[in-house]
Structure 1
Amino acid sequence: MSESMVSGKKSMPLHWKMAIGFGVGTVAGVIANLYFADAGWLETVTTYVTDPIGQLFLRLLFMLVIPLIFSALVLGVVEIGNPQSLGRIGVKTLLWIMLVTTLAVTIGLITVNLFQPGVGLPEDVRAALIAQGVERGSEIAQKGREAPSGIQLLLNIVPRNPVAAAASGDLIAVMFFALMIGIAATVIRSKATRSFVDVCQGMYEICLTLIGWVIRLAPYAVAALLFTITARLGFEVLVQLARFVGTVVTALGIHFFIVLPLLLWFLGRMSPLQFFKRAEPAILTAFSTSSSSASLTTTLKITEESLGVPRSVSRFVCTLGATANMNGTALFEGVTVLFLAQFYGVDLSIVQQITILGLCVMGGIGAAGVPGGSLPVIAMILAMFGIPPEGIGLILGVDRFLDMCRTTVNVTGDMVGAVVIARGERGVLPTQAPAGAD
């Protein structure tokens, strides 16, 4: 996924371009807010130049989310349910993914509710922010009044018309439909079904390519979105952003240093200290590349040679985990959605937060294992709950560092899962490290 080879010469890495876009947009926006807040030209620039640029980027993300989620979930279920792909281990892998991802998102939601990083904007600034568009404000209020609850929320999971659900952005219904299609595809082992799965594979690869192209526009979108927000809000927005980064890192740290070692100790019966010592090369690779897919070869090598997991287990669990076991990504998605809800003053009920938890669990499974792969899912969830998606511009400015952190959690979760599942396979995991592992 490197963008450095286009015409045979090296170009600046994307994350540096995004950092520059973040800096330029933020500094220019703060200066504009300090010295030209009441100038007519500033409102013209934000309304007709920077805001449309940011909106175009968001629309490109929205365009990809439905085909990406549908194809990824269908492929994930087909691979898990394939009897030739270690059926019993596949079920255990699915249970592991659901367990660690649910724990991760729960930690994220608890952390963001405790720290409330999006709370603290002055009321006049918040009022001006919400009042930027009366139409958007009424839309948010209307969605809050019409939010389903109880049995209706459960019924809405099953779409009456999957095409209409996709058109209206009903992500839960689309995910349910994709899961049903995937389950049926694992049962019907025909040539036609295989062709359909190949089409889904092609769609998934196309979406990954398109995401790569769209992400290349991110530096300009970051600059435009950050200029728009900081020009209207001033320096206060940077304080909120710093609190957001601290909250995400804290939640990821709890999952990485507490939850995963406990699961490793009790279920995998391996010393966490020994695990981290042996898994260090794969963890560092994940941190530096920000991509579970790019780290896969190193992850497989370390899991088999250093952690002693049999190849039959490691190749299934780690390969599937590189696209489906995104517990760090799911945690990040949950924190981001609640942070922006707090930032824009959108109250979310307990039922809505539980719904977000479920969406993030499934979104973590469907997110692409490449840098920026979670952005379309976040954008769609924001829209579903009436949270202005323009706020994603704040996140893009610091996303590179947070992507490195959550990818580290993702890959570590894959290796811990391989150890746990191998131990459950009649204790096939050796108690001692392989020769030369240390």
Structure 2
Amino acid sequence: MSLTKKIIIALILGVIVGIGLSYAPTDIFSTINMYVLNPIGQIFLNLIMMLVVPIVFVSIVLGTAGIGDPKKLGSIGIKAISFFLVTTAIALCIGVGLGFLIQPGQAGVFDTGNIEYESQSAPPIMDTIINIIPRNPIESMASADMLQIIAFAVFIGMGLATLGEKTKGILNLFEQANDLLMWLINMIMKTAPYGAFALIASAIGGAGLNAIGSMFMYMVTIVLGLILHGAITYSLMIKFIGKGSPVKFYKEFFPAMSVAFSTSSSNATLPLAMKIAQEKLGVKKEISSFVQPLGATINMDGTAIMQAVATVFIAQIYAETLGVSDILLIILTATLASIGTAGVPGVGLVMLAMVLQAVGLPVEGIALIIGVDRILDMLRTSLNTSGDATCAYVISEYEKRKEAKVLKS
């Protein structure tokens, strides 16, 4: 049986077991979760997280060295960031539009008088830009600061490309390290169905159907937004810019999406997502190695849809009216925040707090959505990971066509 089928079966079984556990007495769920589900899920997460920093560092060094020309590297970087900003803005428009169309929030349904939420503050965007350059690369790797790791790896890759034959031995060492990491990914992915089952069962069993039921329309709105963005925005880009088949793309990429769904982590999914992009989707190794780690850090289209819907939902709960200027402010603030808050823990809720403050809505409203956010986080992480792969695929296909034209001429 293929890995994809095993993961699908595991996800279905996890949902069934999770629903069953949500009806079980609290002490029974706590015991099963503590001694069975949580250990299995955490071991799987730890296994793939232990590869994230080494694979991001090694891949970006190889990707940068493979691209070689700093102008070409800059061109690919500009294309990737432009793609991320444009798709994030489109995702926000979809989220806001669905929020007003479906109207998931109604004033007076929730007791807003006693809710509390303490928001984390995001660092100023200039601090984020300054801190991209690491003072201590080893410390950056130890703390898994992805933007700093990416910056350091780019410098190393540019040095290897510039020095050429002088550092060929070091480049060979990085290529061998990459082969070793890919072998480890293959080994670890054999445990994916068990980890997916445990993580899904734990998340659904802990959330409970009551919490899901009370927020049903909010959840439907976000899920619909995620589906539309993947089926329309990404599919059109794959079809018309990448000149490929969206059906084939999603079919091949499904194992990575399912791991993203079960782990709720773009970084944890990164090793498998890059492997599939390179081996199954034909993305050039140097482009995949550069674009996908960057996207896992700053590209958050699924999160953007959640922020847009949540902002409209909270405004409806508090009976506040959002004007055209407020809608434009939501789109602008969330688009810029997607890069400005990269690497901040709980980044989705930090960004949401910034958006709510920008349009004058109470940050305490976030407390209403936290109960179901874990489950929605699974879905939006799947979309985020797909967006990173779509960007890498589109840029790779564009570069292939450009190179083919040069060869013909």
Matching residue's letter, 2:85: T
Gap runs ≥5 in structure 1: 5-11, 33-40, 132-136, 265-271, 301-316, 364-377, 432-438
Partner Cα distance (1:118, 1:157) in 2: 40
Structure 1 residues 330-364: Cα deviation after superposition (integer angstroms, max 9, x where no partner): 4555347648976998xx9976763434677xx9x
Structure 1 residues 370-428: Cα deviation after superposition (integer angstroms, max 9, x where no partner): xxxxxxxx9864597799698434454x689x66x975x66665554344324444834
Instruction: Specify the SS of the correspondent of 2:284.
Output: helix
Number of aligned residue pairs: give it.
352
Matching residue's letter, 2:153: I
1:219 equivalent in structure 2: 197
Structure with a larger share of its residues in helix: 2
Matching residue's letter, 1:76: S
Matching residue's letter, 1:334: T
Matching residue's letter, 2:205: F
Displacement of 1:221 in angstroms is: 2.3
Confirm or deny: 8 A CA contact 1:18 1:218 kept in the other structure.
yes
2:321 equivalent in structure 1: none
2:9 equivalent in structure 1: 16
Instruction: Specify the SS of the correspondent of 1:120.
Output: coil
Matching residue's letter, 1:250: L
C-alpha distance 47-113 of structure 1, shift in aligned 2 (>3 A)? farther
1:184 equivalent in structure 2: 156
Instruction: Specify the SS of the correspondent of 1:183.
Output: helix
Instruction: Specify the SS of the correspondent of 2:202.
Output: helix
Alignment of 1:289-438 (within 5 A): 293-294=275-276, 296=278, 299-300=281-282, 318-322=284-288, 324-326=290-292, 330-335=299-304, 338=307, 354-357=336-339, 381=347, 391-396=373-378, 407=386, 413-414=391-392, 416-425=394-403, 427-428=405-406
Matching residue's letter, 1:319: K
Confirm or deny: 8 A CA contact 1:65 1:380 kept in the other structure.
no
C-alpha distance 126-192 of structure 1, shift in aligned 2 (>3 A)? farther
Gap runs ≥5 in structure 2: 161-166, 257-272, 315-328, 354-365
Partner Cα distance (2:222, 2:30) in 1: 27
1:286 equivalent in structure 2: 252
Instruction: Specify the SS of the correspondent of 1:82.
Output: helix
Partner Cα distance (1:214, 1:340) in 2: 31
Displacement of 1:175 in angstroms is: 2.2
C-alpha distance 339-201 of structure 1, shift in aligned 2 (>3 A)? farther
Partner Cα distance (1:389, 1:328) in 2: 27
Structure 1 residues 82-118: Cα deviation after superposition (integer angstroms, max 9, x where no partner): 2686877655444433332333333334433544599
Alignment of 1:60-71 (within 5 A): 60=43, 63=46, 67-71=50-54
Partner Cα distance (2:307, 2:347) in 1: 10
Confirm or deny: 8 A CA contact 1:55 1:390 kept in the other structure.
no
1:42 equivalent in structure 2: 25
Partner Cα distance (1:203, 1:344) in 2: 43
Confirm or deny: 8 A CA contact 2:238 2:394 kept in the other structure.
yes
C-alpha distance 391-287 of structure 1, shift in aligned 2 (>3 A)? same
Matching residue's letter, 1:120: G
Percent identity for Structure 1 against Structure 2 = 12
Instruction: Specify the SS of the correspondent of 2:405.
Output: coil
Give me the TM-score of the superposition, normalised by structure 2. Answer: 0.61
Q: Provide the aligned C-alpha RMSD in A.
A: 5.3
